[in-house]
Structure 1
Amino acid sequence: MAPPRLKLSKKKQNSAKLVDTEDYLQSGDSHEEAMRKHRVGDPAKALRFADRALDVYSQGLAKFPRSFDLAYNKARLELEKATDPVLSEALDIPIINVLRQALSSHHYARDLEPTHPDTLFNMAQVLTGMAEIMAEDDKSDDSEAIQDLEKALEIQSHCFQLQQATFEKSRSELEQAMRETAQQETSPIEGQATTDTTTEPQNVNQEEQWVSIEEPITAVTLLETIIAQIEALSALCSILSSAQTTSSMSALSWIDGYSTILLTQTLPILLSKNQETLEPRLPDVLLPRAVFMSNYLELSLRLSAIDVEKYKQELDAAFTQPGLDGTSENVLLAIANALLSLNSALADSNSETESHAAFRWKILIDAQSRLSSVASIPNIDKHTLATAHLLRGDISLFLQILAYPPVAHPQAQTTTPQLLKHAEVYYRNASKLLGSLGPSTEEERITCELKGALVNVLQQVTTNQATAGSRSGQNSSGMMINMTASPHQIESVLEPILRVRREDWVKDHIEDMISEGLILPQVFSAII
């Protein structure tokens, strides 16, 4: 959701000179309007107008440091710069730097008005965004990201309480006004004098005033705050699953308590009291809720709080909620990602049994089927289609890896050549689609190209192994790949990528694929 914005009622005339806060607000707003005008056609120009608006707000705050409107607009626009997909792509500095500045600005605005709901909501969004970026950085401390998410949830909870109080007060006042109006209509006062509707002519030359108007708190506002909390909880579970810190179990207990109140009390009550208003928005909350349940279940399994059977049962229930369209691309992608998370949790459990291998094969095939449905949707967005192909390539490698010990799955053994061929095709298709989208997807494109190149190495190695097994009269099924690709073999395949990316970038990505369980480390031991 875009950061809530203070709107303009009237603009002050003849404000070429920036004298008071209204002048600065009007000037900044005009730059923001220009930013939105150029946002689609010229992102770089839009970003320049955003920076001009920020400069105006900063100048205004230097003269009027107690102006909340200036402080709020500055903080909000910094958040928008970091989170708007078009503006953030045009940035020449890391997004997290912009978010850190936005956090500082939100602290300033909150100090001026501690109970302003939109400021609190936006501040929580800043913290969530920072946590997600830090979690993606292998060099960052996950504990800091976890702390930011916990702060975000505390702020969102406080924000919701303030919004709810305002909403209930407004609804109560409206109902009271409606009752008084109805009473007046049914009991007219006799002899009431005719109201003189004549008014004094207004001075058309009178200077108009700039007024900030805030959006009223509605049931939809409350729902959006709940969704933000669910998404922050989901991110927290995901980070904890990767971090596996000593405090993860206590964090799981805290998440359990927070989410139980939110999902079994707060949300149902809001939906039941505002059914007519919120029914069209129901899918907006059901999918984030399902994704949260997926991440929560993964964390619970990794901490041995539930078993695999309970995990799969609850996962199926989460994605079959009434009102959730299981044929939509977003839901299909979410289910596929949820199944991939389950596969990763099983792979990391060190419980290598035939039943686990068979179960992993089954859920990976299910995920592949969901992605196939995504790819067959008519007129699907190119980036979504590329994402589906990329995931299908990953799944083919996950399936192929099941062919090797300690538990070699028979179906994986017999289909290894086909699985590698499929992976190569999927990565190639994803790379082509991403390449057609321009510079904004270059990092994703080159990653797909790298994965396709590594598949080529795997194809050579498995072919050589099969040939060696055939010459010796032995069946190589179920054997660990005992051949390491030579440095020359690997470098010749990676040559096109090494022209545009440094060697350490390539090695980092290979190590990531090994840690994710996509490829076997011994195949690439010559270069890592």
Structure 2
Amino acid sequence: MSKPKQFTKPPKKQKAKAAEPETAEEFQAAADFEEETGGKWRAGDPAKAGRAFVRALEVYDRGIGKHPHEFDLAYNKARLELEITQNPALVGHIGQPLAGLLKQTLDSHRYALRLNKLNPDLLFNTSQVLTSLAEQLLEAEDSDTSISLLQEALELLSSCLSRQEVLLEQQQSELEDGEEGGVSLGAPDEKTVPTAESTPGSDDAGQYATVESPTTASDLLDTVHASLSALTMLVTLVDAGSLRTLGDMAQGLTEKKAPSYIGMLSEDAQDSAHFTVALARASFVAAFADVQYNAFTIEVAEYLDRLEAFEVPGKDGDVTALGSEAEARVELATSVMARFEGSSDLPADICWKQLGTAQESYAKAAKLDSSAQLYLSRADVEMLRHRIASLTTSKIAENVRKSAPTLAQNAQTYYKGAVRLASDEDEEVKSKALQRLFIATQLRSVLYQAEPAADVTQMIEMCGVQRRMHEGYMECVEEGLLDAEQAEELAGQIVAT
């Protein structure tokens, strides 16, 4: 998710006082004090940071209760809540689960929007809350609500982009007027100048001005990128009849809007911007193709052609690009395997090649920056390749079939690596890696009579993962890592022991 837009606050006139604040400025100063305290502890002691941020939110609540029309307080409360939701280490110290905190954050943003519907930073941040909440609800299998939230996010991003375009045009006009008058404004590479305006509906109208950061071409590109991310999520959820509309939106953003904005950047910033937009476009194209393939409107050959969108110069030096392409190729393989489940017509060679390409991309990414999630993904690819190598209903090359024991061992090794790399903040990744480490260990034991290494056995026993494996087996079947019969056999081994 894109980083929340920061709000430029007026210079502080005084430090927070012990006495209860009265004016909007005093409430803001008191909240600033707690936020700064939380910031100091954010990295070293998340618990202390969380308590300070909770105190800041309480100050904002009291301030809004006393000054309900003060936009600055409403905005900054919402902004702080959003920042907290993006830091897993902090969420655990706020006192409610992430989904509940996101709903509270969305309420705060909607309240601020009622005070000012034109602030582009607020429009952008609200869209990010909606997108994050949609992701959470998707995990809970509430796709209908997720669709509604993503559609609302796209509407706000469209409004944000329109507002940013107006502001940028105004700023450029002011710059030109100043130059004609012989006054040098010293404009940066992206031709903008700062603006300030009074907060609509402020209780202290004329006394407390909101200082707005200048709008830049980079801001517009951030909005384009956020829009493409939301479209990429949404395209996987809607019915086939809605695909064309979403495709047209993505095309307009990547072929019309983005090139215009990139042209406003300094020359040394343009290559990076082109790369970012091209990668976002490739991810959308891949998701769009997968939906079309599963709707039987394109075949695998065209699907493969679409993935050429990932041929972006410089991708081999970028972890995100390598990971995105690998995910897209894994998605193609699993979709093809699902369509031909149990059929001798499965194009196993295509699936095998795509998974091999995905593993190569992950290997390149690991050399740049190893992470628990990356090792988990590499292990999953080996499980998928093992499943292909173990097929009895399709014609499989002999060298592929002979690789099955090695693939199972590789999967176990990568799952073990994911467990070791997972920090306390990666609890979800660590839990999944432990479950799948157990499954890979069982797989090797049942199929190849392989005894687990002592460190693997210790990991599994210490976490008691055997006692909660039903969900893990179900997830592996859903993701294509195991077929249902194989999962049932492995689960039976746990009961037997």
Same fold (TM over 0.5): yes
Partner of 2:393: 406
Contact conserved, 2:225 with 2:277, CA < 8 A, in 1? yes
Report the AA paired with residue 215 of structure 1: S
Contact conserved, 1:5 with 1:214, CA < 8 A, in 2? no
Partner of 2:215: 217
Instruction: Deviation per CA, 1:276-334: give whole Å up to 9, x if none.
Output: 37415413333222222221221121122322222211212x21234x43232222222
Report the AA paired with residue 331 of structure 2: S
Instruction: Deviation per CA, 1:245-300: give whole Å up to 9, x if none.
Output: xx511221221121121111111222234453741541333322222222122112
1:378-527 equivalent positions in 2, closer than 5 A: 380=369, 382-383=370-371, 386-402=372-388, 403-410=390-397, 411-434=399-422, 437=423, 439-463=424-448, 497=460, 500=463, 505-525=468-488, 527=491
Partner of 1:244: none
| TM superposition shift of 1:110 | 0.7
Partner of 2:99: 96
| TM superposition shift of 1:128 | 0.2
Instruction: Deviation per CA, 1:433-485: give whole Å up to 9, x if none.
Output: 22xx3x22243223222212212222233237x9xxxxxxxxxxxxxxxxxxx
Aligned length: 458
Q: Does 1:366 align with 2:357?
A: yes
Contact conserved, 1:320 with 1:326, CA < 8 A, in 2? no
Q: Distance in 2 between matches of 1:90 and 1:364?
A: 40
Q: Distance in 2 between matches of 1:507 and 1:4?
A: 42
Q: Distance in 2 between matches of 1:277 and 1:114?
A: 34
1:376 aligned counterpart, secondary structure: helix
TM-score, scaled relative to structure 2: 0.85
Q: Distance in 1 between matches of 2:75 and 2:36?
A: 17
1:7 aligned counterpart, secondary structure: coil
Report the AA paired with residue 387 of structure 1: Q
- C-alpha spacing 1:70/1:387, structure 2 compared with 1 (3 Å): same
Q: Distance in 2 between matches of 1:303 and 1:161?
A: 34
Q: Distance in 2 between matches of 1:164 and 1:331?
A: 29
Out of 212, 229, 232, which is 1:231 matched to?
Answer: 229
- C-alpha spacing 1:20/1:358, structure 2 compared with 1 (3 Å): same
Instruction: Deviation per CA, 1:394-435: give whole Å up to 9, x if none.
Output: 11111111121321423432221111122122212222222x
Q: Distance in 1 between matches of 2:25 and 2:300?
A: 60
- C-alpha spacing 1:279/1:131, structure 2 compared with 1 (3 Å): same
Q: Distance in 2 between matches of 1:271 and 1:442?
A: 39
1:213 aligned counterpart, secondary structure: strand
Q: Distance in 1 between matches of 2:26 and 2:15?
A: 9
Q: Distance in 1 between matches of 2:285 and 2:245?
A: 15
Report the AA paired with residue 406 of structure 2: Q
| TM superposition shift of 1:90 | 4.2
Contact conserved, 1:340 with 1:364, CA < 8 A, in 2? yes
Contact conserved, 1:10 with 1:210, CA < 8 A, in 2? no
1:170-319 equivalent positions in 2, closer than 5 A: 170-181=171-182, 212-238=210-236, 240=237, 248-274=239-265, 276=267, 278-279=269-270, 281-282=272-273, 283-316=275-308, 318-319=309-310
Out of 114, 117, 122, which is 1:114 matched to?
Answer: 117
Q: Distance in 2 between matches of 1:166 and 1:255?
A: 27
| TM superposition shift of 1:35 | 1.6
Contact conserved, 1:333 with 1:370, CA < 8 A, in 2? yes
Partner of 2:191: none
Report the AA paired with residue 225 of structure 2: I
Q: Distance in 2 between matches of 1:306 and 1:507?
A: 35
Q: Distance in 1 between matches of 2:254 and 2:170?
A: 24
Report the AA paired with residue 100 of structure 2: N
- State the percentage of identical aligned residues: 30
Q: Does 1:168 align with 2:160?
A: no
CA RMSD of aligned residues (A): 2.6
Q: Does 1:328 align with 2:326?
A: no
Partner of 2:41: 38
2:403 aligned counterpart, secondary structure: helix
Question: What runs of 5+ residues in structure 2 fail to find an aligned partner?
Answer: 185-206, 493-497
Instruction: Deviation per CA, 1:132-190: give whole Å up to 9, x if none.
Output: 111122xx32111111111101110111101111111111111121122179xxxxxxx
Q: Does 1:77 align with 2:80?
A: yes
Contact conserved, 2:359 with 2:381, CA < 8 A, in 1? yes
Contact conserved, 2:373 with 2:429, CA < 8 A, in 1? no
Report the AA paired with residue 284 of structure 1: T
Partner of 1:190: none
Q: Distance in 2 between matches of 1:68 and 1:182?
A: 34
Q: Distance in 1 between matches of 2:407 and 2:94?
A: 39
- C-alpha spacing 1:330/1:13, structure 2 compared with 1 (3 Å): closer
- C-alpha spacing 1:223/1:14, structure 2 compared with 1 (3 Å): closer
TM-score, scaled relative to structure 1: 0.81
| TM superposition shift of 1:224 | 0.7
Partner of 1:57: 60
Instruction: Deviation per CA, 1:485-528: give whole Å up to 9, x if none.
Output: xxxx9xxx999747645777421111010111112322342648
1:181 aligned counterpart, secondary structure: coil
| TM superposition shift of 1:72 | 0.8
Q: Distance in 2 between matches of 1:250 and 1:90?
A: 44
Report the AA paired with residue 147 of structure 2: I
2:383 aligned counterpart, secondary structure: helix
Instruction: Deviation per CA, 1:337-376: give whole Å up to 9, x if none.
Output: 1111111111122274556111101111111112222233
- C-alpha spacing 1:177/1:92, structure 2 compared with 1 (3 Å): same
Report the AA paired with residue 405 of structure 1: T
Q: Does 1:25 align with 2:28?
A: yes
1:525 aligned counterpart, secondary structure: helix
